[in-house]
A and B are shown apart, each in its own frame.
Chain A
Amino acid sequence: MSSVWRQLGILTNWPVLVALAVLSTLGVLSIWANQPDDASKQILFLVLAIACMTLFQAIDYRKIGHFSFIFYGVSLLFLIYTVVPFTHVPSGDSRPLRVPETHGAYAWINFGPLRFQPAEMMKIAFIMVMARYLRFRSNYRTLRGLLPPFALALVPLALILVQPDLGTALIFIPALFIMLFVAGAKIRHLLAVVALGVATGPFLWLCGSKENGAPGLPVLNHLPTFVKRYQRDRVYAMFKNDSMTLRSTGMQQHRALTALGSGGFGGKGLGNIPVSKHLPEANNDMIFAVVGEQFGLFGSAAVLMAYIVLFAAGIEIAAATREPFGKLLAVGVVALLAGQTFLNLMVATKLMPVTGVTLPFMSYGGSSLLASFMAAGLLLNIGQNRPLVMANNAFEFVE
């Protein structure tokens, strides 16, 4: 028992906890300003999430690590469950174990009164399995050796794309590359893959018939349409400021900037969010704008500071840990959280097209909160188990 207390208390990483406190408090306040009822639910989720974090902190991560592949497998099964058509039901159907349509995607599974998003669980499982797989190997320094890690990422990614939930799928890519990068994969290999990806991008963009919104080039128009019309519209909306776009596809981001900008330097004050009241998904994807409207630049800067403190602390933990699984897992957690955070913030500030990912620790919603706090729990766990390992530093290769 005493080891549990030590695990929880003595070596807890205070900067991380402060950052989490700041973020979740600002999140709850913003949700409360918009939907007081949702705020009390969010507090309930928070309690649950913190309990989950404590659990992931209390059990030695190395023990958790043993279950990485099982965790990954179970998550994969849940993901498959969401994409098989016979589980699909129309939106609003709350029968248990059904997959109701939500914003055009089948991403949630009903569990009694609650719903659960397997992709969130998959994110954690993915970084764990990656860290597990990479920890004692070095074969990923060859091109062929990169195949298994990529396969580990691409299988869930493909399933999530089928749902379809592009935003969540995108988060796997930075996590994959960063983990491979810090684990010492050859940069030229990674760059080659990136180059391949960059090259296929325009190709995918141009494929498809004119009826489906594609440019309809000769030959390419006979290929299937990969980029959906609404996705194209969102990309176009980035670069268009005419009133038509600002009333339709571009409305959400434009409103978010309006809320943010009208908050100005000092903000409109706690709970005063006239513009955000007219902002779609203000509680979820656009919560940064709600903070910005209430607390101005102070609020948005505080959010950014809290995140960078959290990420820096995570990287410090990775650097200080000598055990290879922990080292890589810590980087994975940071990569996952940072990827999601920056994706969300860039959407909210109209630096990239709308994708629809939540802001970790802040956005309304149980699954997202639970996953984020789990990840944070793993990070704290690694941070306070810095065992002495009598070995060479891991992942040190001579180029």
Chain B
Amino acid sequence: MFDRRVKLFLSALVLMTLVLLARALQVQVIERSAWGSEADKVLSTSELIETTRGRLLDRNGIVLAEDSPCIDACVDFRAIGQIPDKDWVDALAKSRLRTRMGEDYRRLDRARRESLVLQETEAVKADIDTMWHQLAQIGKMSMDQMDDLRQSIFIKVQMRQRSVWYKRYKKAISDNSKAEPAPAYRRWLLDLSQELPEVDESFIEVGEQTQSHVILPDIDNATNNLLAKNAEHLPGLVLRPSVHRYYPYNDLGAHVIGHLAHVSEKDISDGPSDELREYLKNDLIGRSGLEALCEPLLRGSRGLIEHRPGDSTKDKLLNDPKPGLDVHTSLDIELQNDIYQLFAKVPFKYNSDDDADKIPMPGGAVVLDIKTNEVLALVSYPSFNLNTFDDIYSSLVNDDVNRPLLNRATQFALEPGSTVKPMVGLGAITQGVFGINDTVECKGYLILNGRQYMTEGRCWVASMYANDPRVTSVEHHPIPTKDPHPTGFLTYPDALERSCNVFFETVADRLGIDGLSYWFHQFGLGKPTGIGIAESRGHVPSDGAISPALRRVFTWYSGIGQGKVLATPIQMANVAATIARRGIWERPHLLPTDDNNPADRVDLHLSPEALDLAREGMKKVVSELGGTGRIEVPDGIVLAGKTGSAQAAPLKVAQRDGDGKIIYEEPVAAAEDEDGAIVITKNKVPKREKLELGTHEKANPVAPWYRGTGPAQDHISHAWYIGFAPADDPKIAFAVMVEYGGSGGASAGGVASKILEACVKRGYLHPKPEAKEQRTE
């Protein structure tokens, strides 16, 4: 029985062996080729091919930003880690020895050869170390910065490994079911400190592990030659042709074109998760202006190449790299240039064309095309050179006098002054609180219900000429003496022409602070225009709490664009455009679009009669002797304009010590922590001091443009000029703001006048000969 059963057992064992043998035969012989290609799949590595970013073009196809060829100094990944890859260093040492010694090397006995290799390995390691110091020196980096850079490349490659794994995982999931991958995986992808889930992650190799990575982008010719000559002692260094972002116009339109910066963790996590489009560490992303706005279009798709083991001829291009798209913007770079140059020579005397009376002034200007509401020019002065932005960034950001990084056209909200007056009248008439034929008597001071407000409601005539012996009375707008107002009872157009404060304070009082805010808001104040680049929303009176006692006074002030109303040049240009379009508000845009989004085009349903009056008044501002904005206008063009001079706060800058470091306020708040130690809870507020106000004769050397106006040269105000032309068939609208430019007519008006000239030159305005006669001389 035992023998029989043990034989049965043996037969079972033989049977099992035969089954396994058959299985081995099946896998190793019959299915051999299938498993062979499966093996190729396991062993193949993929590598991304970088692509180029699309160009930014102006409306005429002129290049504003492009990727231009350059040479990058790159280093092999295996030399980037803090400890260079052992096998790689070994191979390098051996190849160096073979080149140096030729046949002799092979003839050496083994022990000798090994000791030589060991020596050479040390030499290679020392060379790698020296190379990093040299590269840091060339790149003007500290060794710490260089180490950070190396670390970030290291992390990038690890991240990419994970990302490759994740892509496969996700594909597998989507093949398998519709279930979304667990969020844990996404977290793990973004954060190296996360524990990995049970995966075959460690078995994924990516091509980047054997490739070179950019250390110094865009090196100059001399450096290139130096490094190339010394190549033998720079292990792993590769001088690779590449591209870098080039801005042909340097500082022109820098604010609106914008700049690129390295991606942040947030960009990576918020960005696309597609392997070919996702952001990797060290990638560049549009950080401001059009570069940021058009990021999805400009950014290309990477290519993907698959390396087959051992045989580079089997490399397979899985995806072609797709360059980013070229983006046509609405800007006219020539017009932009013309206007930008104007700020370098802002006249400070009324209608003066003498270069001696002109100085560079900070400010902003926007020109809009009425028909499409495209931005033709968006100027902020002073600007900065985009090509050297990274190098000079710290000096730019520390310049708190000139603030070159501030986009004054969109980010700088300040009191618009009298430029709000057309809006106040339009709102009041449309709302019915003021009739089209109604008048207000200006006695120099605001009079409501028989009470005269001597300080709170003065007309500018009163504040400027009250003590002037040449003027007997400030009543009824006697200025200019050649053309005083005939009655002193001003209609809406009269009030615009003479920019009468009393008139608009009276009207604002009737609208009330909420009515006023409503109309400002309707015209686009107190909210971003949505142009797509960084901007300030500004302020309307109802945005903040006002104590009931001051409510009425602020209503009057706001009615003349002071106090509780703030606006940016782009907002004010759009106000002019809205009036020019007869009450149709449109969102300004930097990219040509045929978008029909109703939110981008709003009819304010303004009274047509009021619009006629507003246009009449704004024309008279320019054409009549009594007009406050009588600027030079190109022949054949009729301009409807409005000046503004907004009382400005004195310029304050951060105090600095002898080394130029900012001095901070004493800690304003301190608290005890758990251990009883005093902790400063609120500091880092720079100590600010008023900058000394200059005069025409004695400019402040720190800020020559910061000077007073008025008889005593102690009056500080920002100058505005908004308008549209031609007045009866508007083609363009614009706003000009000159920071501390004094009265609107002189500085801003001077710029506005030249903007019109430039618009004629660039073909946006076509002069009509008969138009000239309308102007009163």
Residues on A facing B (Cβ under 8 Å): 178, 181-184, 242-248, 251, 254-255, 257-265, 274-275, 278, 280, 292, 296-297, 300-301, 304, 307-308, 311-312, 315, 318-319, 327, 331, 334-335, 338, 342, 345-346, 349, 351, 393-397, 399
B contact residues around A278 at 8 Å (CB): 42-43, 200, 203
Stretch among B128-136, B164-172, B489-497 lining the A interface: B164-172
Given contacts A258-B35, A264-B32, contact A297 B25 (CB under 8 A): yes
Are A257 and B35 in contact, CB atoms less than 8 angstroms apart?
A: yes
Distance to closest chain A CB from B312 (angstroms): 16
Are A395 and B1 in contact, CB atoms less than 8 angstroms apart?
A: yes
Q: Which residue of chain A has the shortest Cβ distance to B2 in the bound complex?
A: A395
- Contact of B69 with A by CB under 8 A: no
Q: Which residue of chain B has the shortest Cβ distance to A335 in the bound complex?
A: B9
A contact residues around B13 at 8 Å (CB): 308, 311-312, 315, 334, 338
Q: Which residue of chain A has the shortest Cβ distance to B19 in the bound complex?
A: A351
- How long is the Cα–Cα vector from A387 to B28 in the complex, in angstroms? 46
Could you give 17 example pairs across A and B, Cβ below 8 Å?
A244-B169, A248-B199, A251-B200, A257-B35, A258-B35, A260-B27, A261-B28, A262-B35, A262-B39, A263-B28, A274-B39, A278-B200, A297-B29, A304-B24, A331-B6, A346-B20, A395-B1
Distance to closest chain B CB from A274 (angstroms): 6
- How long is the Cα–Cα vector from A257 to B6 in the complex, in angstroms? 33
Are B28 and A275 in contact, CB atoms less than 8 angstroms apart?
A: no
Q: Which residue of chain B has the shortest Cβ distance to A309 in the bound complex?
A: B17
Q: Which residue of chain A has the shortest Cβ distance to B165 in the bound complex?
A: A247
- How long is the Cα–Cα vector from A301 to B380 in the complex, in angstroms? 81
- How long is the Cα–Cα vector from A319 to B10 in the complex, in angstroms? 11
- How long is the Cα–Cα vector from A346 to B19 in the complex, in angstroms? 10
- How long is the Cα–Cα vector from A301 to B26 in the complex, in angstroms? 12
B 727-752 binary contact with A (CB < 8 Å = 1; else 0): 00000000000000000000000000
- How long is the Cα–Cα vector from A178 to B9 in the complex, in angstroms? 8
Q: In chain B between 7 and 46, which residues have their CB closer than 8 angstroms to a CB of chain A?
A: 7, 9-10, 13-14, 16-17, 19-21, 23-25, 27-29, 31-32, 34-36, 38-39, 42-43
Choose among B2, B17, B31, B309 the residue that contacts A261 (Cβ–Cβ < 8 A): B31
Given contacts A304-B21, A311-B13, A345-B20, contact A182 B5 (CB under 8 A): yes
A contact residues around B35 at 8 Å (CB): 257-258, 260-262
- Contact of B449 with A by CB under 8 A: no
Distance to closest chain B CB from A152 (angstroms): 20
9 residue pairs, one from A and one from B, having the closest CB atoms: A261-B35, A244-B172, A262-B39, A244-B176, A300-B24, A395-B2, A243-B172, A278-B203, A261-B27
- Contact of B175 with A by CB under 8 A: yes
Distance to closest chain B CB from A387 (angstroms): 17
Given contacts A243-B172, A297-B29, A308-B13, contact A393 B23 (CB under 8 A): no
Given contacts A274-B43, A274-B309, contact A182 B6 (CB under 8 A): yes
Given contacts A242-B176, A342-B20, contact A182 B39 (CB under 8 A): no
- How long is the Cα–Cα vector from A265 to B24 in the complex, in angstroms? 10
B contact residues around A334 at 8 Å (CB): 9, 13
- How long is the Cα–Cα vector from A297 to B31 in the complex, in angstroms? 12
Distance to closest chain B CB from A178 (angstroms): 6
Q: Which residue of chain A has the shortest Cβ distance to B169 in the bound complex?
A: A247
Are A247 and B9 in contact, CB atoms less than 8 angstroms apart?
A: no
Are A260 and B176 in contact, CB atoms less than 8 angstroms apart?
A: no
- How long is the Cα–Cα vector from A135 to B10 in the complex, in angstroms? 21
- Contact of B219 with A by CB under 8 A: no
Q: Which residue of chain A has the shortest Cβ distance to B31 in the bound complex?
A: A261
B contact residues around A259 at 8 Å (CB): 39
Distance to closest chain A CB from B704 (angstroms): 68
Are B28 and A331 in contact, CB atoms less than 8 angstroms apart?
A: no
- Contact of B173 with A by CB under 8 A: yes
Are A247 and B172 in contact, CB atoms less than 8 angstroms apart?
A: yes
- How long is the Cα–Cα vector from A113 to B172 in the complex, in angstroms? 42
Q: Which residue of chain A has the shortest Cβ distance to B40 in the bound complex?
A: A262
Q: In chain B between 627 and 681, which residues have their CB closer than 8 angstroms to a CB of chain A?
A: none
B contact residues around A263 at 8 Å (CB): 28
B contact residues around A181 at 8 Å (CB): 5, 9
Choose among B5, B17, B42 the residue that contacts A304 (Cβ–Cβ < 8 A): B17
Instruction: Give the interface centre of B16, B173, B175 by most chain A CB atoms within 10 Å.
Output: B16
